[in-house]
Amino acid sequence: MNQSVTLPSGIATAEIDEVLRSRSFWRLTLPGPLERQFHLHVLARRLQQFQRSGWLALLIFDSFLLVDWLMAPDVLVYSVIVRLGVFTPFGVLALLLLRRFQPLVPLEQASKMVDWMTLISGWGAGLCLALILLKTQSPWGGYYQAGFVVIILYGILVQPLSFKWALPYGLGLLAMHMWCAQMGQGMPAPLQISILHMLVSTLGLSLAASFMVDRLRRRRFLLLLREERLIERLGHVNQQLQGWSRSDVLTGVPNRRHFHEHLAQVWERARHDRTPVSVLMLDVDHFKAFNDRYGHPAGDACLRQVAQGMAAHLRKPVDFIARYGGEEFIAVLPGADLEVARQVAERVCEGIRALGLPHEGSSTSPMVTVSVGVATAVPGTPNTSADELVSNADRALYDAKREGRNRVGVIAQV
Q: How many helices (H) and strands (E) does the chain have?
A: 14, 5
3-class SS letters over 8-69:
CCCCCHHHHHHHHHCCCCCCCCCCCCHHHHHHHHHHHHHHHHHHHHHHHHHHHHHHCHHHHH
Closest CA to 277 of 291, 263, 287: 263
Catalytic entry in 108, 327, 328, 350: 327
Query: What pairing do the DSSP bridges indicate for beta strands 408-412 and 370-377?
Result: parallel
Residue 10 neighbours by CB distance under 10 Å: 8
Q: Report residue 85 CA to chain centroid gap.
A: 48
Give one DSSP letter per residue of 120-166, joined into a string: HHHHHHHHHHHHHHHH---TTTTGGGGGHHHHHHIIIIISPPPHHHH
Positive or negative CA dihedral for 330, 334, 338, 344?
negative
Active-site residue, 327 included: yes
Question: Where in the sequence numbering do the catalytic residues fall?
Answer: 327
